[in-house]
Amino acid sequence: MQRLLVTGGAGFIGSNFVHYVMSSTDNFVTVLDKLTYAGNLESLKQLPADRFRFVQGDICDQPLVDELVGSHDVVVHYAAESHNDNSLHDPRPFLDTNIIGTYTLIEAARRHNKRFHHISTDEVYGDLELDDPERFTENTPYNPSSPYSSTKAGSDLLVRAWVRSFGLQATISNCSNNYGPYQHVEKFIPRQITNVIDGIRPKLYGKGENVRDWIHANDHSSAVLAIIDKGLIGETYLIGADGEKNNKEVVELILEHMGQPRDAYDHVVDRPGHDLRYAIDSTKLRTELGWAPQFSNFDAGIEDTIAWYRENEDWWRPQKAATEAKYKEQGQ
């Protein structure tokens, strides 16, 4: 049994990882989460008390981080400010959490010689043209386009530098867009699903041509575990499930599964600097570590996700009104 410290484990992708670890291993997990608006303790309910602990705290709190890192075997770093729209409105929290927070963690991991895995995003690579056959690989140059993606790129580079300069026992993964349970309703897919539940027409940025490479959160979790177990120190692995869809297709699929006309949505003003297309080549992860996604059918994955939001209204309802009020203020 290993002792895992999971930062940001009350957030969307982090909480899915915690549930996955609990169901597929005998590891002990401590979650460190600041419980900002994006963190939700309800996402960590019904976990086995003898193998799970929650600590509310900030990853920038050096004494707390040092104490926790020192008493665990592996640090899995999910904690991040991650919503692009928020980064355009107020970039400062992204610098604090994504840069200073990561620095605080890798310094503690270096001092205690602990295994460190850093969760990042494909957005650090910028975007691709809609008709470009290329996909991102581990060798794609960084070209971030928002305060969010630039701070994540900065955190990646910090980890790489600490590996080279100080021998940090670290790996990095850059993943494509996740979907599934426990995702905040400010995000694209849950916003559309909960709008339809509430009788509100979904909102589509611009023409809806922007392409994302979708992956179910459980597949992201299984890939991270594979990297922790078998990945080579200092290496970066891209995680993707060949799930390219443009936003218009996703909205239409959601409407179809929820019994609405496929064109029952509204176009809203596009956000500044909206990346055109992301696409992941996960060949290295699949061939070197033997990983493969289980949720390869996006249609079925969306149907399961819709069912989760229908069945867990108590989880997302408290977030909804404030989220929609913020979007209305921004004309989106």
Provide the annotated active-site residues. Answer: 122-123, 148
Cα 85 to the chain's mean position, in Å? 15
3-state SS assignment for residue 153: helix
Q: Burial of 92 by CB count in 10 Å (0-12 exposed, 13-18 middle, 19+ buried)? A: exposed
Buried b (16+ CB within 10 A) or exposed e, 316-327: beebbeebbeee
Q: How far apart are alpha carbons 110 and 212 in whole angstroms? A: 35
**β-pairing verdict for 74-77 and 236-239:** unpaired
Tally DSSP H helices, then E strands, for the chain.
12, 13
Residue 300: CB atoms within 10 A of its CB come to 11
Q: How far apart are alpha carbons 282 and 241 in whole angstroms? A: 8
Which helix H or strand E contains 138, and what residues bound it? none
Token match 């977030």: residue?
319
Q: How far apart are alpha carbons 28 and 269 in whole angstroms? A: 46
CB 10 within 8 A of CB 33: yes
Q: How far apart are alpha carbons 1 and 144 in whole angstroms? A: 38
CB 180 within 8 A of CB 16: yes
Token match 């107020």: residue?
90
In 122-235, where do the E strands start and end?
Answer: 170-175, 178-179, 203-205, 211-213, 215-216
- What tokens does 72 get? 């665990």
